[in-house]
A and B are shown apart, each in its own frame.
Chain A
Amino acid sequence: MRAPSRDARRRAIPPRPRAALGARPRLLASADSEVLLAMIVALAAEVHRLEDRHDRLLAALARDGVKLPEEAGPASARAPRAEALVERVFRVFDEMAERALRGDDEPYPDVVDRLGRPEGP
């Protein structure tokens, strides 16, 4: 009798639970937006994983003496890739933070109104 395959053994292990016990808080105005945000975070991580794989392949080629095009960039430039990706994908969060830090929250119609008043600035 053949021993069960590795896949068969794995199938015998009950799947790990995916939902933590405890009701999920609702943080955005729409629960649907939170679902989409979770997907975006996961997709951005996948992009980084692929970038990282690409970098490792380039590094392996360089080690083997393959001349790489300039745009491949030196290894030293790859270190902050994850941070740079986060900054690009979640740029809007940085924008929110900047506005909040400088107190830039006067509604635009109020600015229009203020500038139109005779006694205004």
Chain B
Amino acid sequence: MRAVPAGGTEEAAAEAPVGVAAGRLHAAAPEVDPEERALLAFAVAFKGLLRGRMRDAVCVRAEACVARGDLPEEALTEEPIYRWWSAALRAQQDFYVDVTAAIVDRQLEALAATARTIARDPGPGSLTLDPSVRVPTYQAAVDIHCVPGSYFLERIADDVGPGARSELGSLAFAMGRHGAMNEDKGVVAAEFARSFAPDLAIRRILDLGCTIGMSTLAWCDAFPAAEVHAVDVSAPCLRYGHARARALGRCVHFRQADAEALPYPDGSFDVVASHILLHETSRAALPRIFAECHRVLVPGGAMVHVEVPIRDLDPAAAFLARWDAWNNNEPFWGHLAGLDLAGLCVQAGFPQEGVVETVVPSAHQKAGGWLVLAARKPA
């Protein structure tokens, strides 16, 4: 059973219909006052309209386009319902991003000070930053998810702002459907790893592109005896993630590193995982990331990537699934849907027969489940 921090904040988050409770999620988290929570509740209610009946109607129109033999890309974009739905969805995205950024902004220095204190105090896990790590070009090309400054904005010493905003934003975005602490992807990945490699003694785990470690902590819970490591290129997110993990009583070794050039010796980990990292990379980066996964795995080790299920969809669903690629600054999302991922795994050294690509259900209420790409290094 997972440790619940003092104050029962995980329960508070679980009860919050908007995914973000008023107050503080944990000791390192931004405080959300009741007025800010009201704004987030509005954002979530608005998203509920757009992701509910309006999306259903857009789906029906997209299917009608396909049935007529029209390309949704051409025909649907002329229809008012699609245009207004898209414009409203983008306006909703901009709105909740701005609200969450403002919440963090008003307490930016206090959040940095809290994270600094938590990091200085004795506690589990570690944080290793490396200023020589560069933001990959695929992350620098646009601000992912239309968040101004993305994951890398640093305005004060020891800034944790992008990490804190990421936590609030993720919870509001998921509307509580990805778990009280947005841990769904990690729970799914850990459960999958256990069944995918039942003979594997999982003692050392690496999470790639961990952001603030929301999925990472699920690995701590699933394998409490294992040593859990997590890397990301964003220093503000790692600072926040380290403080967050400690505040929630989990032991994670965070390190600033690029998934294309991992600072670990060959054969360091039993499992290498990622959680919706792949669609935020690039065509050129993927083979290098898979090759690094292969290199740092022990013989017999398992690679488990969890992704948004955007592959093998019918044309109408595929068109709608690409909405984020075109309108929410996810430039590689659409490309990933068409890639031979299994082929790239084989190219990286994983045997073809050991590569699995499947869709698994959410451990919470996330509709459509998750795509899992997994492979094992020969023993």
**Closest Cβ–Cβ distance, residue A54 to chain B (whole Å):** 10
Q: Are B92 and A86 in contact (CB under 8 A)?
A: no
Residue B200 at the chain A interface, CB threshold 8 Å: no
Pick the contact of A41: B37, B44, B46 (CB < 8 A): B46
Chain B contacts for A16, CB-based, 8 A: 101, 105, 148-149, 153, 155, 161
Q: Which residues does chain B contribute within 8 Å of A100, judged by CB atoms?
A: 57-58, 60-61, 81
Known interface pairs A97-B81, A100-B57, A101-B56; A20-B92 also in contact (CB < 8 Å): no
Contact A27 B54 (CB under 8 A): no
Kindly state the interface size class of chain A when it binds its partner.
35 or more
B61: A residues at CB distance < 8 A? 100
Interface residues on B, range: 35 or more
**Cross-interface CB contact of B56 among A18, A49, A83, A97, cutoff 8 Å:** A97
Q: Are A37 and B91 neighbours in the complex by a CB distance under 8 Å? A: yes
Task: Contact check, B87 vs A27: say whether CB atoms are below 8 A apart.
Answer: yes
As a 0/1 sequence over residues 78 to 120 of chain A, the CB contacts with chain B under 8 angstroms (1 = contact) are 0000110111001001101111110100000000000000000
Task: Identify B38's interface contact among A18, A22, A37, A49, CB under 8 A.
Answer: A49
Closest beta carbon of chain B to A7's beta carbon, Å: 12
Interface-centre pick from A18, A20, A29, A83 (highest chain B CB count, 10 A): A20
Expressed in whole angstroms, the minimum distance between the Cβ of B29 and any Cβ of chain A is 18
Q: Which of A64-84 contact B (CB under 8 A)?
A: 82-83
Give chain A residues whose Cβ lies under 8 Å from the Cβ of B99: 45
> A21-B143, A82-B41 are contacts. A28–B108 as well, Cβ < 8 Å?
no
Q: Is A38's beta carbon under 8 Å from chain B?
A: yes
Q: Which residues of B contact A83 (CB under 8 A)?
A: 45, 48
- Select the residue from B37, B81, B326 with max chain A CB neighbours within 10 A: B81
**How far is A54 from B209 in the complex, measured between Cα atoms in Å?**
43
Chain B contact surface mostly: helix
Min distance, Cβ B129 to any Cβ of chain A, angstroms: 21
> What residue in chain B is nearest A89 (Cβ atoms)?
B46
Query: Which residues of chain A are near B45, meaning CB under 8 Å?
Result: 48, 82-83, 85-86
Query: Which chain A residues lie closer than 8 Å to B362 at the CB level?
Result: none
Whether a CB of chain A sits under 8 angstroms from the CB of B285 is no
Smallest CB separation, A46 vs chain B (Å): 8
B42 close to A (CB within 8 Å): yes
> For the complex, what is the distance from the CA of A21 to the CA of B139, rounded to whole Å?
11
- Asked if B128 is at the interface (CB within 8 A of a chain A CB), the reply is no
Which A residues touch B155, using CB under 8 A?
Answer: 13-14, 16
User: What does the 1/0 interface line of A2-23 toward B look like (CB < 8 Å)?
Assistant: 0000000100011011111110
Contact, CB under 8 Å: A49 / B83: no
B264 at the interface (CB under 8 A from A): no
With A14-B155, A17-B153, A20-B148: A38-B94 Cβ-Cβ less than 8 Å: yes
**Chain A proximity mask over B63-106: 1 for CB below 8 Å, otherwise 0:** 01000000000000000110111111011101101110100010
Instruction: Contact check, B57 vs A96: say whether CB atoms are below 8 A apart.
Output: yes
Q: Cβ of A33: which chain B residues have Cβ within 8 Å of it?
A: 87
| Known contacts A21-B142, A27-B83; A97 and B46 CB within 8 A of each other | no
A28–B44 Cα gap in the complex (Å)?
23
B147 contacts A by Cβ under 8 Å: yes
B37 to chain A, nearest CB (A): 8
Residues of chain A contacted by B86 (CB below 8 angstroms): 25, 27
Give every chain A residue within 8 A of B57 (Cβ-Cβ): 96-101
Task: Report yes or no: B42 in contact with A86, Cβ–Cβ below 8 A.
Answer: yes
Q: A27-B83, A45-B99 are in contact. List 4 more A-B contacts (CB 8 A).
A: A22-B143, A44-B46, A83-B45, A96-B81
The 6 closest A-B pairs by CB, nearest first: A22-B142, A52-B38, A82-B45, A100-B57, A97-B57, A20-B143
